[in-house]
Amino acid sequence: MNLSEVQIRSSALTHNAKVLRQLCKPGTQFAAVVKGNAYGHGVSDLVQHLHPLVDAFQVDDIEELRIVRSLTDHPILVLGYVRAADVSEAIHLGGELAVYDTERLGAISQAAKQVGIRAKVHLKVDALLGRQGLLPKDIPAFIDALKPHAGIEITSVYAHFANIEDTTDLGHAQRQLEAFDDAVAALSGAGLQGTHRHISATSGLMTVEQGNHMVRVGLGIYGMYPSASLSRTHSDLELRPVMRWVSHLAQVKVLPARHPVGYGLTYITPREMRIGIVPQGYADGYDRGLSSSGEVLVRGVRCSVLGRVAMNMFAIDLSAVPEAKPEDEVVLLGDQGDDLITAEEIALRLGTINYEVTTRVSPLLPRRIV
Ligand SMILES: *Cc1c(COP(=O)(O)O)cnc(C)c1O
């Protein structure tokens, strides 16, 4: 048993992948998004476990492509930017590249020639997102620029929703769907027929997905909902949190009254107090914003963080757990006894989203499948 570790609940992972897959029309390719170290869960373990449950993987960069390719022969789409110097390696590894401007075509075409295989490319259209992507007005110029590049095969066209998780108003999503349909029509009108299309991430799959060729699912697989409203409307899926982040008490002691706790003297004991030292800190991904606001579980009891979270440790109030002793398990995220610390709860305290909470957990902490 490690002093501190991230436990991956394999039964939860299997359950989530299965129920989300069941939301898809038959024949839809189900791609697992494992960028960001599989949202902090640990990309190697996750890919090995998910391989039999999904059809494809999606990563952000060449480094993730290398890791995932060493573990699976599924198709892998690289969503982010790959430097011109790395494109031939990406193609050699069988990576499918996102393309979103005409400038990229030259580099991809040259690399494909070098490697001697046709490069599979997914064209990213900026359908009212305003991020990475080809603006619809630039589609005709793109088609013209594509003509000399026989080594490039546009296998898919895709877009991404901008506003369906933080709102119950799907108006913008509908306008995006229309813009996406128009873009796909413009492409097929210009000779790019039969290309596949995909637009939905977890939230799209739960709301507007009509049956495209593929869905790109991240958050839901890890057992989290994209918003509070989707967790209510889709509670029947019973998505189960996959991550459990644990440590063990490194010291238990009694501080006298009016004693400071930690850097900056931000907490002064109001009375004699039993405290515990948790050997995790912001270096491990336990956000400093949880200073004097976070809670952890010891023996199934909620204990408050006292004072500042330091780089590798923080103090907690053990007043409610008099029997606590050194090396007792501390749960920073996940369940213990009858209680549960969720990523959503931590995100609310920090003014962020559940995505960021798990993704920030240090990749250096050991991961263990349980
Ligand atoms: C991250 C990402 C996804 C997955 O989103 P979830 O909300 O985690 O399901 C899908 N598509 C693109 C383009 C992404 O960047």
Any catalytic annotation for residue 263? Answer: yes
Q: How confident is the model at residue 192, as a pLDDT?
A: 84
- Cα–Cα distance between 370 and 361 in angstroms, integer? 18
Ligand 1 neighbourhood includes 201 CB (under 6 angstroms): yes
Q: How confident is the model at residue 293, as a pLDDT?
A: 97
Ligand 1 neighbourhood includes 309 CB (under 6 angstroms): no
Q: How confident is the model at residue 198, as a pLDDT?
A: 97
Q: How confident is the model at residue 308, as a pLDDT?
A: 98
* CA of residue 308 to ligand 1 center, whole Å: 33
Per-residue pLDDT of the chain (370 residues; tens, 9 = 90+): 799 999 999 999 999 999 999 999 999 999 999 999 999 999 999 999 999 999 999 999 999 999 999 999 999 999 999 999 999 999 999 999 999 999 999 999 999 999 999 999 999 999 999 999 999 999 999 999 999 999 999 999 999 999 888 788 888 999 999 999 999 999 988 888 888 999 999 999 999 998 899 999 999 999 999 999 999 999 999 999 999 999 999 999 999 999 999 999 999 999 999 999 999 999 999 999 999 999 999 999 999 999 999 999 999 999 999 999 999 999 999 999 999 999 999 999 999 999 999 999 999 999 999 9
* CA of residue 219 to ligand 1 center, whole Å: 8
Do the Cβ atoms of 227 and 21 come closer than 8 Å?
Answer: no
- Cα–Cα distance between 95 and 101 in angstroms, integer? 18
* CA of residue 110 to ligand 1 center, whole Å: 29
Q: How confident is the model at residue 191, as a pLDDT?
A: 83
Do the Cβ atoms of 187 and 180 come closer than 8 Å?
Answer: no
Ligand 1 neighbourhood includes 226 CB (under 6 angstroms): yes
Any catalytic annotation for residue 267? Answer: no
- Cα–Cα distance between 145 and 106 in angstroms, integer? 9
How many CA atoms, within 13 angstroms, populate the side-chain half-sphere of residue 292? 12
Ligand 1 neighbourhood includes 160 CB (under 6 angstroms): yes
What atom in ligand 1 is closest to the CA of residue 33? 4
- Cα–Cα distance between 237 and 256 in angstroms, integer? 49
> The tokens 């097929």 sit on which residue?
188
Ligand 1 neighbourhood includes 124 CB (under 6 angstroms): no
pLDDT digits (tens, 9 = 90+) for 267-307: 999 999 999 999 999 999 999 999 999 999 999 999 999 99
Do the Cβ atoms of 151 and 119 come closer than 8 Å?
Answer: yes
Residue nearest to atom 6 of ligand 1 (CA): 218
What atom in ligand 1 is closest to the CA of residue 220? 9
Residue nearest to atom 13 of ligand 1 (CA): 160
Strand partners, 154: 121
Domains and CATH numbers, the chain: 10-234 (3.20.20.10), 243-369 (2.40.37.10)
Among 25, 35, 81, 147, the one annotated catalytic: 35
* CA of residue 33 to ligand 1 center, whole Å: 7
* CA of residue 217 to ligand 1 center, whole Å: 6
What atom in ligand 1 is closest to the CA of residue 201? 9
- Longest alpha-carbon distance in the chain: 78
* CA of residue 201 to ligand 1 center, whole Å: 5
Ligand 1 neighbourhood includes 33 CB (under 6 angstroms): yes
What atom in ligand 1 is closest to the CA of residue 205? 9
Among 18, 25, 253, 263, the one annotated catalytic: 263
Q: Which of 16, 21, 33, 50 to mutate to test the pocket of ligand 1 (most atoms within 8 A of CB)?
A: 33
Q: How confident is the model at residue 239, as a pLDDT?
A: 98
* CA of residue 345 to ligand 1 center, whole Å: 22
What is the DSSP track for 108-132? HHHHHHHHTSPEEEEEEB-SS--SS
What is the DSSP track for 150-214? TTEEEEEEE---SSSSS-S--HHHHHHHHHHHHHHHHHHHTT-TT-EEE---HHHHHHT----SE
Q: From the CB of residue 27, how many other CB atoms can be counted at a distance below 10 Å?
A: 7
pLDDT digits (tens, 9 = 90+) for 10-33: 999 999 999 999 999 999 999 999
Q: How confident is the model at residue 266, as a pLDDT?
A: 97
Q: How confident is the model at residue 167, as a pLDDT?
A: 81
Q: How confident is the model at residue 235, as a pLDDT?
A: 97
Residue 144 CB contacts under 8 Å (≥ 6 apart), including other chains: none
What atom in ligand 1 is closest to the CA of residue 219? 8
